[in-house]
Amino acid sequence: GIFADNTAAGQDLRITANDSIDADGIGIYALSDGQGELNIHTLGTVTTGSSGIVASHVGAGAATITADKAITASGPNGIEFSSTASTSTAVITANEDVTASTRGIYAMHSGTGLLTVESKGKAVGTAWDGIRADGANGVVINAVDTEGGNYGIVSWGAGNGGVDVTSTGLAEGTNGIDVRTNNESTHLNVTAKDVTGSQHGIVTIQHSDLGTPNNDAKIDVSGVIQGGSGYAIWTESDPGVMTRIN
pLDDT 10s digit of each residue in the chain, 246 long?
999 999 988 899 999 999 999 999 999 999 998 889 999 999 999 999 999 999 999 988 999 999 999 999 999 999 999 999 889 999 999 999 999 999 999 999 999 999 999 999 999 999 999 999 999 999 999 999 999 999 999 999 888 999 999 999 999 999 999 999 988 898 999 999 999 999 999 999 998 888 788 888 999 999 999 999 999 999 999 888 889 999
Specify whether the CB–CB gap between 224 and 198 falls below 8 A: no
Q: pTM of the full predicted structure?
A: 0.97
CA 99 to chain centre: 14
State the Cα–Cα distance between residues 211 and 241, nearest whole angstrom: 8
For the CA atoms of the chain, what is the radius of gyration? 18
- Nearest residue to 167 (alpha-carbon basis) of 138, 144, 134, 188: 144
